[in-house]
Amino acid sequence: MAERARGLTDRKKQILKAIVEAHIRGGEPVGSKYITQSQQLTCSSATIRNEMAELETMGYLEQPHTSAGRVPSKQGYRFYVDALLEEYAMTAKEIAQINQLMKVKMSELDQILDKASKVATTLTNYTGFAIKPRSRTVTIRRFETALIDEKSFILILVASNGTVKTRNILTETVVDMQVLNRLCAALNELLAERAASEINLPLMMQLESRMAEDSLLVGTVMKSIYEVLSELDSGELKVNGLDRLLQYPEFSDAADLGELLGALERKDDILDLVSDVEGDRVNVVIGQESAVKVINNSTVVYRPIRQGGRTVGAIGVIGPLRMDYARVLTMLDSLGGNVSQLLSEPHSGEKGEEK
């Protein structure tokens, strides 16, 4: 891209910028007449047509089948986002809507992210999403138990990412607080801070030895522990405003829309796209830049959310290639900053997710 961009003169950049922004607004191919009438260019219409033809040859523009006008290519959108985008000035109403997020009284991370994605949907008019990314190094930081009756108890698992999970354990043998205290001590000594890949047969045998005559509990408890670790590693995707996709003609083909909705429902592809990103800057994935084939004609914009030096989630939107990039990038950056600030407050994100 950098090599090819060297051939873009200031005039070509100005023309490309005008075409991208006009196409974003109206969705129609843009001709030289529009550029001549609307831009501060002193060159002739013929010169503009020549420049547009060269931009097409260079891969920044495309010409629909029967139209005299051009539309941006995916390469053109990428150059626009990287080099031509001007900062969007938010309105007082938009700032107020984002700041309203700071007033919510929620302590659970998934609730905060879900609320932020709903605000993103409202502000941008694109489909919003919230992600709790995969955490392949997640461990159980602490185990606790609570007795229900002589044949059941609650196993409480506090994960290294702050999430809290609970499991109701039904037993075949009688249990009391003495048994549970011994179980809890053994779990914390042998399994705490260990990833699922580190929990092996020798550790399980040690656990059974520690539980002695109550070793029958170990199999049931270990099944629940593995289930929780699997859930914590799998990530989570919540989508808001799917109906917004229907407002754009790019998603009018039922088959293409169905494939996109399927990818969102499966969640794995989108989680792969977001989970390994470092830092907290806004990321823009345009079309085939993503390995997710079904979003080749879409754009995904997202901002990772960090807490305590690690990525704990992400918020974003998905929409057509002719997305209002300036507005979306500014909105998500501001929203993400507010979420990070909210999570840094002592009352936020401490309770995690209880389930």
φ/ψ of residue 150, rounded to 5:
-70, -10
How many other C-beta atoms lie within 10 A of the C-beta of residue 218?
19
Please report, for the chain, the start and end positions of each structural domain, with discontinuous segments joined by +: 2-84, 92-134+236-344, 140-234
Residue 3 in this model has a pLDDT that exceeds 70: no
Q: Tell me the HSE value of 14 on the side-chain side, using a 13 A CA sphere.
A: 13
Residues 266-282: tens digit of each pLDDT: 787 788 777 667 788 99
Query: How do residues 248-262 score in pLDDT, each as one tens digit?
Result: 998 888 887 888 888
Region 2-84: CATH code: 1.10.10.10
Q: Which of 43-47, 98-102, 119-123, 236-240 has the highest mean pLDDT?
A: 119-123
Over residues 116-145, mean pLDDT: 89
Residues 6+ positions from 61 with CB-CB distance below 8 Å: 16, 19, 52, 55, 70, 71, 72, 73, 76
Which amino acid is it at 175? V
CA distance 41 to 229: 61
pTM for this predicted structure: 0.75
pLDDT at 135: 66
**Each residue of 18-74: pLDDT tens digit?**
999 999 999 999 998 888 887 767 788 899 999 999 999 999 999 987 767 899 999
Rounded-to-integer distance, Cα 240 and Cα 231, Å? 22
- The answer to whether the beta carbons of residues 153 and 334 sit under 8 Å apart is no
Between residues 232 and 264, the one the model is more confident about? 264
224 contacts: CB under 8 Å, gap ≥ 6:
155, 167, 169
What does the radius of gyration of the chain's CA atoms come to, in whole angstroms? 26
The kind and range of the H/E element at 9 are: none
| Contact predicate 23/76, CB 8 Å | no
Architecture of the domain delimited by 92-134+236-344:
2-Layer Sandwich (3.30)
Question: Amino acid identity of 230?
Answer: S
Predicted local confidence at residue 6, as pLDDT: 59
Cα(231)–Cα(355) distance, integer angstroms: 11
Percent residues over pLDDT 70 in the chain: 91
pLDDT tens for 172-196 read 889 999 999 999 999 999 999 988 8
pLDDT above 90 (res 283) = yes
Calpha distance 231→135 (Å, rounded): 10
- Domain 140-234 sits in CATH 1.10.3470: no
CB-based burial label for 295 (10 Å; 0-12, 13-18, 19+): buried
The stretches of 80-170 forming alpha helices (DSSP H) are: 92-100, 109-124
228: left (phi over 0), alpha (psi -120 to 50) or beta: alpha
Predicted pLDDT of residue 292 = 67
